[in-house]
Amino acid sequence: MDKTLKRTLAWTGIGLLILLLLIVVNQITQVSMAASTIHPAFGRLVTILLAMFFTVIFLVPLFGFLKLRKPLELPDETNTEA
């Protein structure tokens, strides 16, 4: 793939990730504000639980991706033993 295309796709992905993070933070804030109208401690609890939930949802696939093994290399065509 062309180097500029890779760079463009990487920056687009980073931008979309930041946008998604902004949306998630906004939604957590709105839910915690709604829960705070019931009781302030309940609002804090909801905020902490939602933040932990979304952190786990983000980190589990990230760690899974980082733990992947390197792909096997194809043997040389001139190597008759392989």
Q: What is the pLDDT along the chain (82 residues), one digit of tens a residue?
A: 688 999 999 999 999 999 999 999 999 999 999 999 999 999 999 999 999 999 999 899 989 989 998 888 887 777 666 5
pTM: 0.68
For residues 49 and 3, what is the distance between their CA atoms, to the nearest angstrom? 41
Nearest to 55 by CA among 17, 24, 13: 24
Amino acid at 77: E
56 token code pair: 């786990």
**Quick one: pLDDT at residue 75?**
77
**Quick one: pLDDT at residue 71?**
86
H/E stretch holding 69 reads none
